[in-house]
Copies of this chain bind each other. A is one copy, B any other.
Amino acid sequence: MRNISQFTEKLRLSGLRPTKQRISICEALFDRNDTFHFTINDLTKILKRKVNKKISIATVYNTVHAFKNKGYLKQISINSDKSYFDTNVSEHHHFFDEDMNKLIDLENEYLDKIKIKKKIPGKKIKSVEVLVKVVNNK
């Protein structure tokens, strides 16, 4: 219950109206202890389970994009037909489990700082992402 007012305020502060739908999505995404990796489809299923009234897919897409633009979500690069998002917006990397189609955080502390010794003229680095693909052992 306390969280709902937190979400309301957070939304208001970022210039997003705290509608019922957005608050439900906040609860699904941010009311947890661990970081959460998901596709739109995953999120839709969770919402279907948790919310009595159905939230339209268009609204889910709109909200996820709004949250991404506000910096509350990060989109992860994977070659997949779907987009993956992460509630952990700190600088970090990922494992991708190809058997489970699941992302796992790889915190910065588990690898040395990456130094890129090549420059592209006229370009500056925006981000460096490491994706470690893993498969079942054996």
Contacts and interface: CB of A to CB of B under 8 A. Distances in A.
Nearest to A77: B79
Contacts of A134: 120, 123-126
Contacts of A125: 132-134
A123 B135 contact: yes
A104 interface: yes
A118 interface: yes
A91 to B, nearest CB: 13
B110 A112 contact: no
A104 B132 CA distance: 20
25 contacts: A76-B79, A77-B77, A77-B131, A78-B79, A79-B84, A95-B120, A95-B123, A97-B120, A104-B120, A106-B116, A109-B117, A110-B117, A111-B115, A116-B132, A122-B136, A122-B137, A123-B135, A123-B137, A124-B134, A124-B135, A125-B133, A125-B134, A127-B132, A129-B132, A131-B131
A111 B117 contact: yes
B114 A111 contact: yes
